[in-house]
Amino acid sequence: MKFLDQAKVYVRSGDGGGGSVSFLREKFVEFGGPNGGNGGRGGDVIVTCVDGLNTLIDYRYQQHFKAATGTHGMGKDRHGAKGADTILKVPVGTQIFEDDNETLIADFTAVGQTLTLLSGGNGGFGNAYFKTSSNQAPRHANPGQEGVEKWIWLRLKLIADAGLVGLPNAGKSTFLAAVSAAKPKIADYPFTTLHPNLGVVSLGERDFVLADIPGLIEGAHEGAGIGDRFLGHVERCAVLIHLIDGTQEDIKTAYKTIRGELFAYDEALAEKPEILVLNKIDALADDEIKDKVKVLKRLSKAEVMTASGATGKNVEAILYRVISILDETKREAAEAARNQIDPHWAP
């Protein structure tokens, strides 16, 4: 299945059905009076978050969605039925934006969330509705209200516990394949990965979701390379695993480039917990590893871990570090939620 994380679609709610102008016509009933029914309400456009989807590929082949028109009213006081709703099914992590692609309408973070995006037009009143003591034979009815239409953007941001970031060929796909059952494409040239990959990492009785984000280059936040679209996929990650290719000579620039792109895209993204890893140590001598670790420690002012995704060396230690950070993040979130509750409040 192809991966699609952004789509522009047209949605329109249904028109309301028109009211009916009708009079009772029966034998021996001289003044039957009006009996025109009301029109039915137009269908709504509803967005619902469902399980089993991880891409917006369905909206690659259909971009127009229109709800049904309400049924028109008829004689004998028969009211029209409501028009059928149109339901857009989206995966977890989908955001809906206005046509300007900036104004956020909704953010779906859990299965089962539902939003009525556009309401259908009201049905028109039939002439029976307008009957009064002074106007017992009204000869007019209301037309149904028109539905509402708009263009919207659907943007998917993967929900993963941890995200792999780094320059192209840093070994992210190899790392993901080593720790999970995911089978990303692996090759010895840049931009092998063209879309994010997800894998479930199991460690003892614990597991978490790890996302492999395609390689970033300088200027990615402005659309360079594959672009800034994939930076959005790490916004929801609780921790970032920053892989540095140990076989390259200029590891300073490699580190600064990724950190600069994260900061330029969103300051909050750059402040996320980060595990800095010197990767591909199986291709380095011990002296080279020590020297490059010192350089990265001096730059990042944080602990630097070493690993080899190809051989699996030190990979398990990194995973345990991820789990400890995830646990700490959950504790902090729970504590913050408790602090927001006023202990003196009572219904």
Q: Mind spelling out the 3-state secondary structure of the chain?
A: CCCCCEEEEEEECCCCCCCCCCECCECCECCCCECCCCCCCCCCEEEEECCCCCCCCHHHHCCEEECCCCCCCECCCECCCCCCCEEEEECCCEEEECCCCCCEEEECCCCCCEEEEECCCCCCCCHHHHCCCCCCCCCCCCCCCCCCEEEEEEEECCCCCEEEECCCCCCHHHHHHHHECCCCCCCCCCCCCCCCEEEEEEECCEEEEEEECCCCCCCHHHCCCCCCHHHHHHCCCCEEEEEEECCCCCHHHHHHHHHHHHHHHCHHHHCCCEEEEEECHHHCCHHHHHHHHHHHHHHHCCCEEECECCCCECHHHHHHHHHHHHHHHHHHHHHHHHHHCCCCCCC
Note whether 263 and 296 are within 8 A (CB). Answer: no
The fold adopted by the segment(s) 1-156 is: Spo0b-associated Gtp-binding Protein; Chain: A, (2.70.210)
Note whether 231 and 209 are within 8 A (CB). Answer: no
Average confidence (pLDDT) over 201-210: 82
190 has pLDDT over 70? no
Q: How confident is the model at residue 344 (pLDDT cuts 50, 70, 90)?
A: low
Q: In what order do the strands lie in the sheet with 206-212?
A: 197-203, 206-212, 162-165, 239-245, 274-279, 304-306
* pTM score over 0.85: no
The residues with which 95 forms a beta bridge, in sequence order, are 107, 155
CA distance 314 to 318: 7
Q: What single letter denotes the amino acid at residue 141?
A: A
Q: How confident is the model at residue 113 (pLDDT cuts 50, 70, 90)?
A: very high
What percent of the chain is modeled with pLDDT above 70?
A: 87
Closest CA to 18 of 50, 43, 40, 33: 40
Selected residue with higher pLDDT from 271 and 194: 271
The fold adopted by the segment(s) 162-338 is: Rossmann fold (3.40.50)
133 has pLDDT over 80? yes
pLDDT at 148: 95
Place of tokens 């034998």: 27
CA distance 88 to 107: 14
Average pLDDT over the chain reads 84
User: What are the tokens at 190?
Assistant: 């840049």
Average confidence (pLDDT) over 1-24: 88
CA distance 126 to 75: 9
Q: How confident is the model at residue 216 (pLDDT cuts 50, 70, 90)?
A: low
Tell me the pLDDT tens digit for each residue of 69-93: 999 999 999 999 999 999 999 988 8
25 has pLDDT over 80? yes
Average confidence (pLDDT) over 14-37: 91
Note whether 200 and 181 are within 8 A (CB). Answer: yes
Average confidence (pLDDT) over 210-237: 62
Q: How confident is the model at residue 343 (pLDDT cuts 50, 70, 90)?
A: low
Note whether 305 and 276 are within 8 A (CB). Answer: yes
CA distance 91 to 3: 12
1 has pLDDT over 50? no
CA distance 224 to 227: 5
317 has pLDDT over 50? yes
Selected residue with higher pLDDT from 228 and 290: 290
Q: Where in the chain is the domain with CATH 3.40.50.300?
A: 162-338
Q: Where in the chain is the domain with CATH 2.70.210.12?
A: 1-156
Q: How confident is the model at residue 51 (pLDDT cuts 50, 70, 90)?
A: confident
CA distance 168 to 191: 6
Average confidence (pLDDT) over 305-310: 87
Residues ≥6 apart with Cβ < 8 Å to 337: none
165 has pLDDT over 50? yes
pLDDT at 221: 43
337 has pLDDT over 80? no
Tell me the pLDDT tens digit for each residue of 235-288: 778 888 898 888 888 888 888 888 887 888 777 777 888 899 898 888 888 888
